[in-house]
Structure 1
Amino acid sequence: MKTYKGLALSVSLVCAMGLPGTLQAETLRYAIGFPPGGAATEGVGEFNERLKAETDLELKVYELSLLDLKETPPGVRDGMADAGYIITPYYPAEFSETNLPSNMSMLVTTGSSTKSSGAVMAGVMSEYVMLHCDDCRQQYTAQNQVYLGGIGTPEYVQLCTAPVRSIEDIKGKKMRSSMDSMGRWAEKLGGTKVSLPANDIYEAMSQGVVDCTMISAAELGNLQLFDVTRYITLGLPGGSFAGVGAMNVNLDTWRALSAEHRADLLRLSAFNSAVITVKYHEASAKDIETARANGTEIIEAPADLIQATEEFVREDAAVIKASFQDDYGLEDVDVKYDLIVELIEKWKGLTAEVYDDKEAMTDLLWTEVFSKVDAETYGMK
């Protein structure tokens, strides 16, 4: 076992030692803070099967056993896992550069239409971080990890214990938010923002700590929220959760791999981003119908709430810029913001016909992003 910076590098060689002709498979420990059976864990499982089939790398996947969602970023940083599913908004200062585009995701469901906000944001996040944002990659380096692509969830909805049918219904409600922009949306309309980790939502809803959770409908299955959700309001607040490093690798582990293995991970991480995003899209539709069949009331957002949301998104642009500049010290925020807006419109067009096809999404991500990254140099300085 090798050590780097005093940390154990847990890349293990799984092989029949001493038997000639036996291929060596390098096994990386991968932590994901979701339980088995959801879109994210199933997507990672498909990625791992393809990784094993096409390379001599594989993952040992720990589903909500080694690290929970909030523990995973420091766990990957410190070498408790070789790789993991990283939720960046849990650490607003450490990942502030990546959190800028993720906080702009409500733009995806305003203006020109899109068939999958998740597919758009998977492309936006992957391209922005890997090709355009040196500051993003420097922050990952400071956290001793390398970013290998993002994902996007379906649009955010309201999972509630009481109905939200009007602006009046939002007033006074305690609403769990995972992003500052969505928390501001709730407060603008009279609700109270509550911040807590995704792994704590079930208990918070069951005990009345929150009345509603702003999250994708796919988390009904991912986080087992069917039992505590009585009402679902669609179309609110919109956007997508995209503050995710779907395949972040510990930097010491990454640099210890051969150039060939790094190239393999880069190539197949395009599939990882695509398959998780498409599975989220499929799971969202399926889980809404399952909830309906189980007696959960499905509510369509009324026109006045949709209009109020559009107005909020326009007004919130200045707040986002000021917050990331003043609170987190980001430089050139206006330039970055404008580039992200351009990328959102670009990826709305690119994903219009491939958003629900994992192989077509993989090809798109590879062509537009991952093929342009050099495995010889990426994350090596």
Structure 2
Amino acid sequence: MTFAKRLMSMAVAAGVTAGAGLTGAAEARELRYAIGFPANTASTIAADVYTKKVAELSKGTLSVKVFPLSLLNLAETPGGVRDGLVDIGYVLTAYTPAEFPNINLAGDLTMLLNLMDTGGRDGLIFSSAMLEYIYLNCPECQNDLAGQNQVFTGTAASTRYMLLCNKAVTTADDLKGKRMRVSSQNWRRWSESMGATAVSMPGNETFEALTQGAVDCVIISAPELSGLALIDAVTDITTGVPGGVFGASTVANINADTWRSLTDDERAALLRAGTTMSAHGGWQYVNFEGRDLKRAADKGIRVHEADPALVNATNDFVTTDMKTIAEFYSSKFGVAEPQKAIDTFKPLLEKWAGLVKGVSGPDELAELYWTEVVSKVDPKTYGM
């Protein structure tokens, strides 16, 4: 189905929903939620939990219908939420860098995790810090969202990025001349600093690129062994580099017009449910990482640790790259005080590294999000 036809079908669906509301006032108001991932992925599994939480917390006045990889793909979702084609969307802000510069600046700081003791919970730490940063510490982020007619209610992040390759790549010398598929500028800069060539391409093209030798490695997280079927294209995995996570994910952005049409209690329900979406999404990524690395080893894929010299060189890169990030967002997107943003964000990473260390499950993490962050947000005024 073409994008134009999908828009028409959504408009019809919206009209049917509105009409149903006129004839059955007791029925829950259905909110349409677009997620550009297929079913049974970490994000869609979390969305199923989210829908149940919305119904519970709203006392049945709201329901959420999830559309996995159907109404809108990831590239279409930011505009779709902005224009009201859906009520809620899983928005990867990195896909529209000019529209969300302040969120993306924070999202580009993920390799700072390399310099910390994360206990393997890199994604949970980063998404938690992003949640607090956007809600409570970044009015500029809120201005970006308002400019796109969206209200923020949740984050998520991948697990740590590593090298998924069709040959062994474990040292700095191994990297020289290799073609590396990257999904963000920080990993592009890392690759080029190591003498490799960075290649940009959509995730759904990486399987073919690896099997045909168009790239030597994909810089990505382990759950994509199953999510993108890379387990059938990879022969070698190197952990420890380059590190960082994909963290520029606002996983439950709500159309601002929809948001303002809700009652205070319904907005409060969506804020609380957003903690569930954030916690379960991140937790599922952790579960999938362990599962997929085990599957890879069982399949005979070689799993290597990066050479210590390469790890040290990577950490040196991270330190110097902070200045590059600040200069880039100032010159390219006009961010007024990028260094102030970096200095604000770094302590949140340290804070959440300590907080998530002892968390035993996603519901406990969601409760932590509520007490530490979201309970401080007033549904009567937020996003209004």
- TM superposition score normalised by structure 1: 0.92
Q: Distance in 1 between matches of 2:377 and 2:74?
A: 28
1:50 to 48, 53, 56: 53
Change (3 A) 1:145 1:203: farther
Deviation at 1:263, TM superposition (A): 0.7
- 2:44 equivalent in structure 1: 41
- The one-letter code sitting in structure 2 at the alignment partner of 1:371 is S
Give SS of 1:365's match. Answer: helix
- Given candidates 343, 360, 375, the residue that maps to 2:379 is 375
Q: Quick check: 1:130–1:149 contact (8 Å CA) kept in 2?
A: no
Give the drift of 1:79: 2.1
Counterpart AA for 1:230 = T
| Greater mean deviation of Cα atoms: 136-145 or 206-215 | 206-215
**8 Å Cα contact 2:97-2:104 kept in structure 1:** yes
1:108-161 alpha-carbon deviations (Å, 9 max, x no partner): 121344430111111111111111111111111111111112112111111122
Q: Select between 101-110 and 158-167 the one with higher mean Cα deviation.
A: 158-167
Deviates more, 1:49-58 or 1:211-220: 49-58
Shift of 1:18: 5.5
Indicate the residue corresponding to 2:126 in structure 1.
Answer: 121
Please tell me the residue identity of whatever aligns with 1:319. T
Whether the aligned pair in 1 keeps the contact of 2:21 and 2:29 (CA below 8 Å) is no
Distance 2:55 2:116 in 1: 42
The whole-number CA distance in structure 1 between the counterparts of 2:22 and 2:154 is 34
State the distance in 2 between where 1:283 and 1:93 align: 32
1:171-202 deviation line (CA, Å, top 9, x unaligned): 22221222211111111001112223333333
Alignment partner for residue 158 of structure 2, among 146, 153, 156?
153
Matched, 1:260 2:265: yes
**Percent identical:** 39
CA RMSD of aligned residues (A): 2.0
**Distance of 1:327 and 1:361 partners within structure 2:** 36
2:333 is paired with a residue of what secondary structure?
coil
> What are the residue-to-residue correspondences of 1:1-381 with 2, within 5 Å?
10=14, 12=17, 23-55=26-58, 56=60, 57-354=62-359, 356-380=360-384
Q: Matches of 1:110 and 1:284 in 2, distance apart? A: 21
Decide whether aligned partners of structure 1 residues 237 and 172 sit closer, same or farther in structure 2, where only a CA change above 3 A counts: same
SS at match of 1:327: helix
> What SS does the aligned partner of 1:58 have?
strand
Deviation string, structure 1 residues 45-90 (Cα, Å, up to 9, x no partner): 1211222334322221111112222221112122222111111111
Structure with the largest fraction of helix: 2
* Residue 218 (structure 1) shift: 1.2
**CA 84–226 in structure 1, closer or farther in 2 if over 3 Å, else same:** same
What amino acid is aligned across from residue 159 of structure 2 in structure 1?
Answer: P
Structure 2 distance, partners of 1:17, 1:325, is: 50
Query: Aligned pair in 2 of structure 1 residues 14, 149: CA closer, same or farther (>3 Å)?
Result: farther
Q: How many pairs align?
A: 371
